[in-house]
Amino acid sequence: MAAEGRLARIATDGHYADSFEADAENEVYDEAKERLVRQMLQEIGENPEREGLRRTPLRVAKAMDFLTSGYELSAEEIIKKAVFDEDVKEMVIVRDIEFYSMCEHHMLPFFGHAHVGYLPNGKVVGLSKVARVVDVFARRLQVQERLTNQVADALMEHLGAHGVAVVMEASHTCMMMRGVQKQSSTTVSSAMRGTFEEDPRTRSEFMSFLHK
């Protein structure tokens, strides 16, 4: 359908959707998803027909398609479209990549920054593609530990680097809004591959750049 195709293109191009509102008064974006959202609203005691909620099922359906668009994307395709031969031996680091994901246990958001480094092996990848690879895996139902490893494995496999390092720092709303309700807590996870795993000096150099 037209709306679905448009959002898919927006997600694939790495941009945020301009609007998740209805394009027309009677627009149906995804009948099955919208029906489920309506049922959920009723289950929690709301009236899905009241003015403020009438188009909420459509908005949620569009938003969920965007937030889980990573299932339709390929890290391999993203990387291999932007790999260039370069005689570069020094470490390449992209810091402070914003990411937003959803905890698979509660379907609540977690968000933060990813720091990615790699040691080229005769090839470099476009810097924006590193951020795109993070989004490929972040826009799925996730746990932070798996997300960190998936980014590292994808870059290691498809870039052919000597080594890859990924550190992610995130705040989890499932801890902030419910449960222990610790609003200031952050979770840090790391994944080291190749030289970063084998050589403490290389790993230490990478970590030193994250605190400058």
Q: What are the residue numbers of the active site?
A: 103-106, 144, 172, 174
Strands, DSSP E only, in the chain? Answer: 83-85, 92-103, 109-119, 123-125, 141-142, 163-172, 187-194
Q: Which residues contact 6 (CB under 8 A, 6 or more apart)?
A: none
Q: Which residue, 76, 58, 78, is CA-closest to 11?
A: 78
Cα(147)–Cα(35) distance, integer angstroms: 30
Whether 137 has a pLDDT exceeding 70, the answer reads: yes
If you count DSSP H runs as helices and E runs as strands, how many of each does the chain have, helices first?
Answer: 9, 7
Q: How much is the average pLDDT of 159-172? A: 96
Which of helix, strand or coil describes residue 146? helix
Cα(68)–Cα(141) distance, integer angstroms: 7
The two three-digit tokens of residue 138, written as one number: 């972040």
Whether 1 has a pLDDT exceeding 60, the answer reads: no
Which of helix, strand or coil describes residue 48? coil
Whether 138 has a pLDDT exceeding 90, the answer reads: yes
State the pLDDT confidence band at 181, using cuts at 50, 70 and 90.
low
* pTM, entire model: 0.87
Q: Tens of pLDDT along 112-123?
A: 999 999 999 999
